[in-house]
Structure 1
Amino acid sequence: MAVLCALHVVRRLYAKATRKPVRGEVVLITGGASGIGRQMARRFSRLGATLVLWDMNSEALAKVSKEITNETGGDVHTYTVDITDREKVYDLAEQVISRVGRVDILVNNAGIVAGKSILNPQYDDRLAEKTIAVNTTAHLWTIRAFVPDMVRRNHGHVVTIASAAGLVGTCGLAEYCASKFGAVGLNEALRREFKRYGHSGCRTTVVCPFYINTGMFKGVRSRLIPILDEQYVADSIVNAVRENEEFLGLPSLVHYGSMLLNAILPVPILDFCYKLSGMSSTMDQFVGRAQ
């Protein structure tokens, strides 16, 4: 086991020193018009990638497309789409492949949050269903739409933007946690299927960040772990993709600590630490992004 861990460290160091190029690659980002999606798009464009941005907000898509084109002169293609509509995803995927080219890097980034306790009498059942549909189920449709071609070419990368809430259950985020746990599990299953069937050129990266200052979690308070800056998160994600890193937790406490603590500490002690850290009340003043 020690030898395997040492080999992994060597492999990671080599990957950092020889980041794969993305120039000429087609990168599709869902939720690409704002937040982390927008920031990742800017960075991939600077590296010479062709962008395909999907979002529900056509005005925001037009704005970010103009912004990136002016900044980098890069090739940007935008599509307004509801990714929870399976047939529309499949139809649009065919259009993308026909008009732009085969997708090399698929970034499942689009996400929503309700931010209300499941014990609250005003809990919105329909919004909970939509959260699962956007944050988890839609990943199935985009994977089904684009990954078969990656497998045929033995070349591709699926990036899952999950959350630290996909590793640790959080008060006020029941349906969001369920959706992100699902996204993490889907990514893990896909990664293992790639390996089982010998698709060595097809890679996955799952990203589990803490709260980010994009506005999506406006109002949250954390006294233990600082709110993450979206620029730092976007830089970290793009680097992780280029290094073929399978898992990225942000900050490092999430990366190294969450699964280890869950594995070794009894549940009552975990719950006590959770309460002591103030994590149980981070969502108490949640406002969220204005619609």
Structure 2
Amino acid sequence: MQFFLASFLLLPFLLVCIVESLVKLFIPKKRKSVTGEIVLITGAGHGIGRQTAYEFAKLKCKLVLWDINKHGLEETATECKRLGAKAHTFVVDCSNREDIYSSAKKVKTEVGDVSILVNNAGVVYTSDLFATQDPQIEKTFEVNILAHFWTTKAFLPEMMKNNHGHIVTVSSAAGHTGVPFLLAYCSSKFAAVGFHKALTEELSALERTGVKTTCLCPNFINTGFIKNPRTSLGPILEPEEVVNKLIDGILTEQNMIFVPSSLSFLSLMEKVLPERFRAVLKRKVDVRFDAVIGYNMKGK
């Protein structure tokens, strides 16, 4: 009862916060400078990671590029150097904790202290529970969430010491709602959103508010990882569009970025709407893609 009374007394403050948020919608946010910052991007050899590297290169950052694909990594680095940035490449298996830790030591020795960490590397298997092999489930979690712990543990201490830095978590709209035939992926991305939120609170509790956090949650992106994706929410996103939103979010220190922005409304609706209505709404959204189904519907 005491909690509800205290919450009721906060209503005037809630109104002030709402008005403040509405006013901020019409005031351009100041963009911080990241010139000279050391930016580490995992999964930099393809898709979102590659495009993010290009944008940070244009901002005159020093780039540390990680990927398991050496050829893709070198292609990204070549373009970053053409754009005028220094780029250091490391072939790293983000499903391997020891590889992450040993590579992090090399980065600190050969390049310096990372001040912006973009945890982007990810894997996805489009199949139902029965067709998803056990090693695939394990790898999904190793890359999509456990790697976030290892990279953050490696690079966050120096950021906290200086009370300056930025941890970026690339999650997904699938980190806010369940999608059939993406069970392992959704679970790992829910974990990534939870990691971001808990890390944000922990930094606040430790009074390290100079270390910022951002979480990116896009809809389907045209990167080739998911075959023939389609949804009634709109056209499939291009990497450039998503990365433009991400970079803007980092520079204006946004905590959560949905692409398209309408996903934030749908995420809220999922929390407050009746379950029966949510089921109908999801059918209207009509998420589809090519998937392997291991469960035999005819034999049930």
TM-score for the superposition, normalised by structure 1? 0.92
Aligned positions of 1:181-260 closer than 5 A: 181-255=190-264, 257-260=265-268
Report the Cα distance in structure 2 between the residues aligned to 1:142 and 1:21, rounded to whole angstroms. Answer: 24
Deviations 1:33-74 (A, max 9, x none): 11000001000000111100100001111111112212x121
Deviation (angstroms), 1:13: 5.9
Does the CA-based 8 Å contact 1:211-1:227 persist in structure 2? Answer: yes
Q: Which amino acid aligns with 1:271?
A: A
Report the Cα distance in structure 1 between the residues aligned to 2:217 and 2:194, rounded to whole angstroms. Answer: 12
Deviation (angstroms), 1:8: 3.6
Deviations 1:132-177 (A, max 9, x none): 1100111000011011111111001000000000001001100000
Aligned to 1:102: 113
Structure 2 segments unaligned to the other structure (5+ residues): 1-13, 293-300
Report the Cα distance in structure 2 between the residues aligned to 1:236 and 1:276, rounded to whole angstroms. Answer: 26
Deviations 1:181-210 (A, max 9, x none): 000000000000111111110010001000
Does the CA-based 8 Å contact 2:60-2:84 persist in structure 1? Answer: no
Q: Which amino acid aligns with 1:7?
A: E
Deviation (angstroms), 1:225: 2.8
Mark the CA change 1:227 to 1:194 in structure 2 (over 3 Å): closer, same or farther. same
- Asked if 1:63 is matched to 2:75, the reply is yes
Aligned to 1:267: 275
Mark the CA change 1:200 to 1:9 in structure 2 (over 3 Å): closer, same or farther. farther
Q: Matched residue pairs, number?
A: 279
Does the CA-based 8 Å contact 1:167-1:258 persist in structure 2? Answer: no
Report the Cα distance in structure 1 between the residues aligned to 2:239 and 2:21, rounded to whole angstroms. Answer: 28
Match of 1:114 among 118, 122, 125: 125
Report the Cα distance in structure 2 between the residues aligned to 1:184 and 1:140, rounded to whole angstroms. Answer: 13
SS in 2 for 1:107: strand
Deviation (angstroms), 1:260: 1.5
Report the Cα distance in structure 1 between the residues aligned to 2:119 and 2:280, rounded to whole angstroms. Answer: 34
Aligned to 2:284: 276
Deviation (angstroms), 1:83: 1.5
Q: Percent identity?
A: 39
SS in 2 for 1:208: strand
Deviation (angstroms), 1:277: 2.5
TM-score for the superposition, normalised by structure 2? 0.89
Aligned to 1:39: 51
Does the CA-based 8 Å contact 1:32-1:55 persist in structure 2? Answer: yes
Q: CA RMSD in A?
A: 1.5
Q: Which amino acid aligns with 2:192?
A: A
Deviations 1:239-286 (A, max 9, x none): 10000000000102112x13311221111211121123212xx12x25
Does the CA-based 8 Å contact 2:232-2:284 persist in structure 1? Answer: no
Does the CA-based 8 Å contact 1:33-1:54 persist in structure 2? Answer: yes
Aligned to 2:7: none
Q: Which amino acid aligns with 1:172?
A: F
Mark the CA change 1:12 to 1:52 in structure 2 (over 3 Å): closer, same or farther. farther
Aligned to 1:23: 35
- Higher gyration radius (CA): 2
- Asked if 1:2 is matched to 2:15, the reply is yes
Mark the CA change 1:286 to 1:234 in structure 2 (over 3 Å): closer, same or farther. farther
Aligned to 1:48: 60
Q: Which amino acid aligns with 1:141?
A: W
Report the Cα distance in structure 1 between the residues aligned to 2:41 and 2:22, rounded to whole angstroms. Answer: 30
Report the Cα distance in structure 2 between the residues aligned to 1:204 and 1:224, rounded to whole angstroms. Answer: 27
